[in-house]
Amino acid sequence: MSNEAARTGELGGISVRDLNLYYGESQALKNVNMDIYPNEITAFIGPSGCGKSTFLKTLNRMNDLVDGVKITGEVCIGGQNIYDPRVDVTLLRKAVGMVFQKPNPFPMSIYDNIAYGPRCHGIKGRRQLDAIVEESLRGAALWEEVKDRVKKSAMGLSGGQQQRLCIARALAVQPDILLMDEPTSALDPISTMKIEELMSSLKERYTVVIVTHNMQQASRISDRTAFFLLGEMVEYGETEQIFSMPRDKKTEEYITGRFG
Ligand SMILES: Nc1ncnc2c1ncn2[C@@H]1O[C@H](COP(=O)(O)OP(=O)(O)OP(=O)(O)O)[C@@H](O)[C@H]1O
Q: What is the pLDDT of residues 204-260, one digit of tens each?
A: 999 999 999 999 999 999 999 999 999 999 999 999 999 999 999 999 999 998 765
For ligand 1, the distance from its centroid to the CA atom of residue 28, given in whole angstroms, is 7
Contacts of 211 (CB under 8 A, 6+ apart): 43, 44, 52, 53, 56, 180, 181, 182
Q: What's the confidence (pLDDT) of residue 65?
A: 85
In one letter, which amino acid is 229? L
Q: What's the confidence (pLDDT) of residue 260?
A: 57
Q: What is the ipTM of this complex?
A: 0.97
Q: What's the confidence (pLDDT) of residue 2?
A: 44
For ligand 1, the distance from its centroid to the CA atom of residue 133, given in whole angstroms, is 34
Q: What's the confidence (pLDDT) of residue 5?
A: 47
70: number of Cβ within 10 Å: 12
> Is the model's pLDDT at 10 over the cut of 70?
no
Q: What residue owns the CA closest to ligand 1's atom 3?
A: 23
Q: What residue owns the CA closest to ligand 1's atom 2?
A: 23
Q: What's the confidence (pLDDT) of residue 221?
A: 97
- Closest atom of ligand 1 to 66 CA is 1
Q: What's the confidence (pLDDT) of residue 202?
A: 93
For ligand 1, the distance from its centroid to the CA atom of residue 49, given in whole angstroms, is 5
For ligand 1, the distance from its centroid to the CA atom of residue 40, given in whole angstroms, is 26
Supply the pTM of this predicted model. 0.93
Residue-wise pLDDT tens digits, 151-197? 999 999 999 999 999 999 999 999 999 999 999 998 889 889 989 99
Residue-wise pLDDT tens digits, 40-65? 999 999 999 999 999 999 999 999 88
> Is the model's pLDDT at 79 over the cut of 90?
no
- Of 58, 71, 52, give the one whose Cα is nearest residue 229: 52
What are the residue ranges spanned by the domains of the chain? 3-255
CATH superfamily, domain at 3-255: P-loop containing nucleotide triphosphate hydrolases (3.40.50.300)
Q: What residue owns the CA closest to ligand 1's atom 26?
A: 48
